[in-house]
Amino acid sequence: MSIYRKKLRTPPKDGAEETERSEFSPSPPELSLPTAERIITAMEPQKKNPDRLSIYLDGKYAFGLPRDLVVQHMLCKGCRIDEEKERALLKEAQILRAKEITLNFLSYQARTEQEVEKKLKDRGIAPDIAEQVIQRFRDLGYLNDPNFARSFAQSRLEARGQGPRRIQMELKKRGISANHIQEAIQQLEEKNDLVETITPHAQKRWQRLKKEPNAQKRRQKLLDFLLRQGLGFDLAQRVFQQIEKDDPIDDIEIEEAMYIEPEDLVEEPAEERDVLEEIRPLAQKRWERLGKSETNLYKRRKKLSDYLRRQGFSFDAISSVLEELA
């Protein structure tokens, strides 16, 4: 470390002239010293993945790198690597691995940014690198949450007959923002006749319920199905009326069969908590306990629903967890 001479002025005393004195002190910080270099003593293909090479520095295993990265940086036996170079290589290797994981994850089906982020986290990718890779795929158009929301909503409506409430819940669970969800639902309702699209799915369930000899219970079970599908009370009633029109049973009024009243469907907002993560273990534990005393599946589900409603959970959350248990 270099030493520099620093001149200090001493204030004059009793009219004496100002004097100078010297003081030796360490020099100000300069550029960091070069880090110690290590020599590549061996590069061997890994057994589980021949496209990766194990790099040995000074006779000891140091890290693994993709073969393409080794070729790109012209690494070879005898090359010297300092700490800075090593960190840069490892970061570049992780970026390549994150891109490979993401590309493979997206090859099966469209994903949301949150799903990709979770996948990368589960595979040990650092958060800053995950964000960098997500941004890259976002720029390329492979990740597009607004498009995903619109496509997902249309697909769930047509393929499964799910209503807006259920679709909203599923999109939220996948990390789609509230604005994008609202836009997707608005487009869904503008482009489709919901009653016409959902009725065929409801009719299939109606036909399967023909084994129920009690007409009122049959209606109750269909309504229960429609509400679990996330139709909301008004939409469920319109679909119900359409099915009754096409396949009437008797003169019992539809409203008499509805064991869930409209006021029961008012949702209580869950503030700053993940409702589904909270309700699932509670519902599962209660479901198993009810199974020991209640053999009737319908009554078992009804008791679980009543219990969860007493705990303050919203209608949509209860419907979702009941569908999962079914």
Higher pLDDT, residue 323 or 112: 112
The residue whose two tokens read 């003593």 is: 41
What is the tens place of the pLDDT at every residue in 103-160? 999 888 889 999 999 999 999 999 999 999 999 999 999 999 999 999 999 999 998 8
Higher pLDDT, residue 276 or 60: 60
- The strands making up 38-45's β-sheet, listed across from edge to edge, are 60-66, 52-57, 38-45, 80-81
Strand partners, 7: 22
Q: What is the pLDDT of residue 227?
A: 87
Identity (one letter) of the amino acid at 219?
R
Work out the widest C-alpha separation in the chain, in whole angstroms.
Answer: 120
Q: Does domain 38-81 have CATH number 1.10.10.10?
A: yes
Average of per-residue pLDDT across 173-191: 92
Identity (one letter) of the amino acid at 185?
I
Residues 6+ away with beta carbon under 8 Å from 199:
239, 242, 243
What is the tens place of the pLDDT at every residue in 60-80? 998 889 999 889 889 898 999
Domain ranges of the chain: 38-81, 279-325
What is the tens place of the pLDDT at every residue in 193-236? 999 999 999 998 888 888 888 888 888 888 888 888 888 888 88
pLDDT, mean over the chain: 79
> In terms of Cα–Cα distance, which of 201, 242, 245, 251 is closest to 225?
201
Higher pLDDT, residue 297 or 154: 154
Q: What percent of the chain has pLDDT over 90?
A: 36
d(CA 132, CA 120): 12
Q: What percent of the chain has pLDDT over 70?
A: 78
Q: What is the pLDDT of residue 2?
A: 44
